[in-house]
A and B are shown apart, each in its own frame.
Chain A
Amino acid sequence: MSKDSNKRPLFDAAIMRQAGIECLKKLSPARQARNPVMFTVYIGSILTTVLAVQAATGHGEAPFGFVASIAAWLWATVLFANFAEAMAEGRGKAQAAALRGLRRDVAAKKLAAPRRDAAWTEVAGNSLVRGDVVLVVAGDAIPSDGEIMEGVASVDESAITGESAPVIREAGGDRSAVTGGTRLLSDWLVVRVAADAGETFLDRMISLVEGAKRRKTPNEIALNILLASLTLVFLVVCVTLRPLSAYAVSLAGQGQAVTITALVALFVCLAPTTIGGLLSAIGIAGMDRLIQAGVIATSGRAVEAAGDVDVLLLDKTGTITLGNRQATNFLPAAGVDERRLAEVAQLASLADETPEGRSIVVLAKERFGLRGRDLASLNASFVPFTAQTRLSGVDLPGRSIRKGAADAVRALAESAGIAMPGDIEAFIREVAKSGGTPLIVAENNRPLGVVWLKDIVKGGIRERFAELRAMGIKTIMVTGDNPLTAAAIAAEAGVDDFLAEATPEAKLARIRQYQSAGKMVAMTGDGTNDAPALAQADVGVAMNSGTQAAKEAGNMVDLDSNPTKLLEVVAIGKQLLMTRGSLTTFSIANDIAKYFAIIPAVFVGIYPQLAVLDVMGLATPKSAVLSAVIFNALIIVFLIPLALRGVKYIPVPAAVALRRNLLIYGLGGFVVPFAGIKCIDMVIAALGWA
C-alpha cells in the first residue's frame, strides 16, 4: 500500500461501479435489518409497492401514477443509502485488495530448533502457528509476524508502510519485530512466529480496511438508539394519524382520511433517514481517513476515543524536537582560547559519526574555518564511546583528547588529581538550565571547556500546541532528560507540562494519575518497555518500527512511525464525531420544512383553511408529497461526499465549534429543504408528473 494509492479520489470510477452493484446486493432483508431506520424505509417501500400494484388494478386508494412514483422514490431512498455505505466500503476494499496481494501463500522454512544451523523443512506459510521458528533468508518474504531470535537483516517494509527505504531489523532491543508480508533484502533471520495464520497484522489490517469485522462503536450504538426512538415516535405519529384524520373527516363532514401512501411518505420524510442512511458510511470513512494518514486502528472504538483525548503524552525526541541535538556554542574555561577549544573539540569529534559529533565539526568550521583533517595523517587513533568510560575521543601522539558528559569528565579529571574548574561548573549549570546539554572537552585529563549542545524545537510545533490547548487538550512532554533541561525545552516548545527522567514506570504512573482524574490519555511509543503504558493509555499509538509487544499493547499502529501523527489521529477522531452530530442535526432540522409541505397537502381536503400553512406555495397536494419524498432521497446522495470526507475540522474551543456547526448544519438544515422542495415541486409541475 504505497502512499500514492492512499490518496484515492472521492469518486473513483471503479469504486463507484462496484458500489452500484453492491447497493443492489444490500437489498436483502438480513442486510437491511441491521439498520433500524433504513429498515423502516425498506418496509415502507414494499408496502407502497403493494399499494401501487393494487392501484394498477384500479382498486387503489390513490391514482396509480402517484402511488407508483412514491414507491419508486422510496426504493431510491433505500438504494441511495446502500450506495453511500457501498462507496465507503469500496474505498476500504480497494486498499484491502492491494494488501491481499502480499498475502500470497509463501513457502516457509520451518526450523526444527531455534538455531540458524538447525534442519529446516519447507511448509506452507499459512500452516504456521504461534511459537514455530522459521528461517528467512535474503529474497524471502517473511511468512508471518514474529520476533527475531537471531540475526540482523535489512527488510523492505514498503508494502505495509509505504516507506521505500529498507529498515534494519535485529534480534534484541526495540527493532526485533518483523511483519508478515514484508521482504528480506539481505542476510538472514531466525524468527519466532508470533501470530497464528489469519491473525497476523496483515490479516487484521485487511479485515479492518474492508470493514468486514467492523463492529458498531458505543457512540454509534447510542446514536442508533436515539435515531430508532425518533423513528418510533414518527411511526406512532403516522399510524395514529389515520384514525385521527378519519375522525376529523367525520367531524368536518368532508374530505377523506389520509391515504396509507401519504402516511408512508410522511413517515419516511420525518424519520431521520439522512443520518440513518449515512451513519455506517461515516464510520467506515473515518477509519479510511485514518488509514490514509498511515495509521491502522485495531477498533473503531479507538478512533472515537481519540476524539475525546484530554492529555497527550508526547516523546520529546522526534515529536517536539528534531531528532538530534546540535552544537551551538563553545564555552572555554578561563585561560583557554575559544579557538583552541574548538580545535580540540573538532579533533575529538572527527571520527564521531553521531549527529552530535558531526554538528561539532560543522560548528568549528563555521566559527573558525577549521577544516576536517585526516586522522590517519595525524597518527590519531579513535577512542569509541563505551558504557564503562562514557567518553569518546582520540589519542594523538602525546595528546589524549576526550569529550563526554559532565560527570564522566569530572571523574576523569579527578582520577588524575585535577579539579573541575569553577567556571566550567558554572557553564555546566547554565547550559543545563537553559535546556541544553553540556559536553565537556578535556585534553590530557584537563577540562578545557564546554560545548553547548542544544535541542532544536521543531518549527511550528509551538503553534500546534497552542491550538491543542485551545481545544482543551493538554500536552505533556516525556523525556529522559533531567528536570532542568526538560523544563527549558518544555518552555521553549510551549507544552503544558513535562515528565523528566521518564522511566516506563513513571509513564505508567502518570497515565494512571490522569485517568483517575477522569481524563483520556493518548501516547505514542515503540519499545517493549512502553508496552504497559501503551496498554494503559486510552489511545496508544505504537510505531510500526517498534517491537511486536508495543504493537500489540497499543490500539493503533502508525505505519510511518512518526510520533507527530498523534495530533492527526486526534483530529480524525474529532472529525468523525462531528460529522455524525452535524448530519443528525441537519437530518432532524429538515423535518420542519417537510411538515410544511405534507401537512397542508394531506389535510386540505378536510379543512380547506389549512391551505395557509403551505408557505412554499406548492403546485398540488400530490406534488407537495412527492417533492418532499424526492428531496428526502436526493439529499442522501448530495451528502455522500460530506459523509466520506467528514465535516471541516478546525481546532477551536468547544463552544465556538458548536456555534459554527449549529449555524451551518442546524440553520442550514432548517432552510435548505424549503428551497429544495420548492425547486423539485416546480420541476414536477413543469413536467406535469403530479
Chain B
Amino acid sequence: MIVTDWLQWLFFLAVLLAASWPLGLYMARVYMGRPCGLDRLGGALERLLYRRSGVDAGREMDWKTYGLAVMGINLIGIVAVWAVALLQGVLPLNPLALPGVDPFVAINTAVSFATNTNWQAYSGEATLSIFTQMLALTVQNFLSAATGMAVAAALIRGLARRETTQLGNFWQDLTRSVLYILLPLSLVLALVLVWQGVPQTFDAVIEAHLLEQPAATAPAPDGTTAAAPTGRQTLVLGPVASQVAIKQLGTNGGGYYNTNSAHPFENPTPLTNFLEMLAILLIPAAFCHTFGAMIGDRRQGLAVLAAMTILFAGFSYLTLAAESVPNPALAGIGVAAGPSLEGKEVRFGPAGSALWAAVTTAASNGSVNAMHDSFMPLGGLWPMLLMQLGEVVFGGVGSGLYGMLVFAMVAVFVAGLMVGRTPEYCGKKIEPFETKMAALVILIPPFLCLMGTALAVVAGPADAVSNPGPHGFSQVLYAFSSMGNNNGSAFAGLTASSPFWTLTGAVAMFVSRYWLILPVLALAGSLAGKKRLPQGPGTLPTHGPIFMFLLIVVVLVVGALTFVPALALGPVAEHLALFRAN
C-alpha cells in the first residue's frame, strides 16, 4: 500500500477527532435543554409538535415509562414499514410499478430498519418503490437513530444525576435528536452529495447510452434493471441523496441501491467516499464528548473516545494491511501484481475500500462500498470481529456509547476490586443489579451470533452459501454477527431471502436491539437513584491511561474469548490455507 493511503488513513482519523469535539459539546447542550442556537430556529416547530401530539415535554419519565415509550414508537414503526412494504403496489410514487414485497422479506426489512440494523434482505431499488424508500425507510432511518441517541442520553443522565428516578422525557429527546442534530447534518450532507452528483429527484429512470455494446449473454450487474442490447441502459433514479445522508449519519446503512455505497449514484467520488465515512463515525465519536460534558467531567468522555479510537485505529490498520497484499492465489496467472481489486470499485481502490469496511463495521452502519465477501480472509476477519465485539468501537449512534459505557462498568468492576474498593464508575457504585443488566447487554449479542450461526448450519437452507470450505462458514458467521449486533452489512455471497433467513434474522435483530435497550434503561434508572460519590485518590481513576488500556483489553478479551473457536473455523483457517498453499 502506498504512502498516500496511510496518509489518507491518518487524515481521516484527525478530521474525525477534530469534528467530533464541537459537535459533541453542541449535542450536550441539546440534551441538557440549554440554548444551542438552532432551537431559536426550530423552537416554534418543536413546541408545535408537542402541542399537536399532546406531549408534555416538561414531564420527566422514570426508566419504565421511558422504556415503554421507546418500545411503543418502535413497534408502531415496525408495523408501519411492514404494511407500507406489503401495500406499495397500490400506493403512490411507484413509477416502476413494483409489486408488494414478500411478507417475510417485509418483516425482516421492517425490523431491520426499526432496529437501526438495515440488513437488506430485499434488492434495493429493484424491490422497493420511491414511496416505501422515502416514507418507510428514511423515516425509520431518522427514528431508529434518534431512539439510540435518546437511550444514550438517558444512560448519561443516570450517571450524571443523583437520587432521582427521572431520566428525562423520551419524546423530547427523540424530537430534539431529529430536529437539532440529525436533520441539520443530513441537510448539509445531502446538499454536498447532490453537488457531487448524487441524484435527488422523483424521476424514476434515466436512459444511458452505452459506449460499448454489451454481449447479449453478459449478466446484468446489480443496480441496473436491464442491459438491453440496444446500446442503452436504464438507470433507476430517485431521492437518493436525502436517504444516503441519513443512512450514514444515523449509522443505518441501508442504501437506496442494492449495491449500496459502491453504486456511483450513492457514492460517486473520492470526496463523497471520504465525507460518507466521516458521517458514519461522526455522531458516535461526538457522543463521547457529549457524555463527558453532561456528567461534568470531560476527561471521562475523552477516555472512552480514546479507547474507541485506539481500537478503531488498530482494526482499520489491520484491515488495510490485509488488503494491501496481493492475493497469492492469483500469483503467476498473468494478473498485474498489487493488492487484490476483486469486489472493489476502482475509484476507491484497496485503501478506500478497506478503510470503509473498518468504518462501517466499527460503527453499526453496515453500508458497503466494496464486497467484503471478496476481501482477503483477514480483510474479512477484522471487520467481522469489529461487529462481534458488540458494536462498541464507536458503534451505532447512541448505542455505541451506551454499549461502551456498559463495558466500562464491567472493566471498572474488576479493576475497582483490584484497588481494594467496591467498584464505582463516575461516582456510582456498581452493585448486583447493575452487574446483572451489564451482563445482559454484553452477553446477548454473542449468544445471538453463535446460536444463530449454529442454527443456520444445522437447520438453514443448505444452498444459502456460495462457497465451499471455511469461506462458506465465514459467510454464515458474518451474517449473524451482522444481524446479532445491528450492523447490517453482509458477506455478499450469502442468499438470505429465504423465510429461514428473514425470520431468524428478524428475531436476532429485534432481540439484539431491544433486549439491550431495556437493560440499559434499567441500568440508567438504577444508577440515577444512587448517590454520586466524590472522586479521590482512593477511587479508581477512570480517565487515565491504565483504565483506557483496561477497557480496551476487556472489550477485546470478551469478544476474542467468545469468537476465537468460530473464527478459527472460518477466516483463520481460510487465511492459513491460502498462504500455506501458495
Contacts and interface: CB of A to CB of B under 8 A. Distances in A.
B569 A518 contact: no
A642 interface: no
Contacts of A659: 546
A580 B454 contact: no
Interface string B382-417: 000000000000000000000000000010011111
A218 B469 contact: no
B453 A240 contact: yes
Interface string B439-466: 1001100110011011001100000000
Which label, helix, strand, loop or mixed, suits the secondary structure of the A interface? helix
B420 A649 contact: yes
A532 interface: no
Contacts of A245: 569
A517 B163 CA distance: 12
A241 B569 CA distance: 10
Contacts of B420: 307, 573-575, 577-578, 649, 657
Contacts of A584: 414, 417
Interface residues of B, number: 65
Contacts of B550: 658, 662
A624 interface: no
A584 B418 CA distance: 9
A233 B557 CA distance: 12
Nearest to A657: B419
A609 B453 CA distance: 23
Contact of B432 (A225, A246, A595): A225
Interface string A160-179: 00000000000000000000
A470 B457 contact: no
A519 B418 contact: no
Nearest to B424: A308
Interface string A289-333: 000000000000000100110100000000000000000000000
B421 interface: yes
Contact of A244 (B427, B453, B547): B453
A588 B568 CA distance: 20
Q: Which of B458, B540, B573 has the most CB of A within 10 A?
A: B573
A661 interface: yes
B58 interface: no
Given A234-B561, A251-B470, A518-B534, A244 B430 contact: no
Interface in B529-582: 531-534, 536-541, 544, 546-547, 550, 553, 557-558, 560-562, 564-566, 568-569, 572-573, 576-577, 580
A654 B538 contact: yes
A674 interface: no
Nearest to B454: A240
B334 interface: no
A57 to B, nearest CB: 29
A226 interface: yes
Contacts of B531: 518
B470 A248 contact: yes
A599 interface: yes
Contacts of A121: none
A494 to B, nearest CB: 16
B102 to A, nearest CB: 27
B431 interface: yes
Contacts of B63: none
A610 B565 CA distance: 11
Given A225-B436, A233-B562, A609-B580, A472 B538 contact: yes
A232 interface: yes
Contacts of B569: 244-245, 248, 603, 606-607
Given A236-B451, A582-B418, A222 B468 contact: no
Contact of A518 (B470, B532, B568): B532
Given A247-B457, A584-B417, A607 B576 contact: yes
Contacts of B82: none
B123 interface: no
Contact of A610 (B430, B538, B568): B568
Nearest to B420: A574
B422 interface: yes
Contacts of A270: 561
Contacts of A471: 537-538
Given A251-B468, A251-B472, A471-B538, A307 B421 contact: yes
A595 B568 CA distance: 11
Contacts of A603: 565, 568-569, 573
B265 interface: no
B418 A226 contact: no
Interface string A488-504: 00000000000000000
Interface string A644-685: 000001000111011101100110000000000000000000
B118 to A, nearest CB: 26
B430 A222 contact: yes
A362 interface: no
Contacts of B256: none
B546 A221 contact: no
A511 to B, nearest CB: 15
B66 interface: no
A658 B413 CA distance: 12
Contact of A223 (B417, B536, B568): B417
Contacts of A591: 557, 561
A577 B468 CA distance: 51
B439 A236 contact: no
Contacts of B472: 251
Given A243-B458, A607-B577, A657-B419, A236 B447 contact: yes
A595 B561 contact: yes
A233 B537 contact: no
A419 interface: no
B534 A654 contact: no
Given A237-B565, A270-B561, A472 B422 contact: no
A471 B531 CA distance: 21
Interface string A458-492: 00000000000111110000000000000000000
Nearest to B417: A581
Given A226-B439, A517-B534, A654-B538, A243 B454 contact: yes
Contact of B443 (A229, A308, A577): A229
Contact of B418 (A233, A234, A585, A599): A585
B539 A472 contact: yes
B417 A226 contact: no
A654 B421 contact: yes
B414 A518 contact: no
A613 interface: yes
Nearest to B468: A251
B568 A599 contact: yes
Nearest to B561: A591
B410 A226 contact: yes
Contacts of B418: 578, 581-582, 585, 657-658, 661-662, 665
Given A229-B442, A658-B547, A661-B418, 8 more contacts: A229-B443, A233-B562, A234-B561, A244-B454, A246-B457, A266-B565, A588-B557, A657-B419
The 5 closest A-B pairs by CB, nearest first: A472-B538, A581-B417, A574-B420, A229-B439, A609-B576
Interface of B: 410, 413-423, 427, 430-432, 434-436, 439, 442-443, 446-447, 450-451, 453-454, 457-458, 468-470, 472-473, 531-534, 536-541, 544, 546-547, 550, 553, 557-558, 560-562, 564-566, 568-569, 572-573, 576-577, 580
Interface of A: 218-219, 221-223, 225-226, 229, 232-234, 236-237, 239-241, 243-248, 251-252, 266, 270, 304, 307-308, 310, 469-473, 517-519, 573-575, 577-578, 580-582, 584-585, 588, 591-592, 595, 599, 603, 606-607, 609-610, 612-613, 649, 653-655, 657-659, 661-662, 665-666
29 contacts: A225-B436, A236-B447, A237-B446, A237-B561, A247-B458, A247-B473, A251-B468, A307-B422, A470-B537, A518-B534, A573-B420, A577-B417, A580-B417, A584-B414, A595-B561, A606-B573, A607-B470, A609-B580, A610-B568, A613-B572, A653-B537, A653-B538, A654-B419, A657-B420, A658-B540, A658-B547, A661-B418, A662-B546, A662-B550
